[in-house]
Amino acid sequence: MTSLGGTALAATGAMTPDQIAAQGGISGVLWWGDEETARAIDLALAGRDGPIVPLIPGKPDLARVRAERHLCIDTTAAGGNAALLGGAA
């Protein structure tokens, strides 16, 4: 996944849902397997402190592994003049 901007951490053996949730530095968990285990992992991830870590079941597509963020400034209230929003005159 490095070509998509991420670094995969592969498990070297079986891990419990709690062990998965205890991993630091993760921003998502990919899971190919049964629904019962997926639910247990999802609940363990939900109990973590900090940012939400999603469980991504099944093989991910590009939209799931590549995040893109946009900033949009609505200038409607300033009559379309962005300089008025920044206080510049």
**Over residues 43-70, mean pLDDT:** 80
Region for residue 67 given its phi and psi (left: phi exceeds 0; alpha: psi -120 to 50; beta: otherwise): beta
More confident residue, 56 or 2: 56
- Residue 40 CB coordination number (10 Å): 16
* pLDDT recorded at residue 36: 95
Q: Report the distance separating Cα 61 and Cα 54, nearest Å.
A: 15
Q: Three-state DSSP class for 77?
A: helix
- Domain residue spans of the chain: 2-85
Q: Report the distance separating Cα 7 and Cα 16, nearest Å.
A: 21
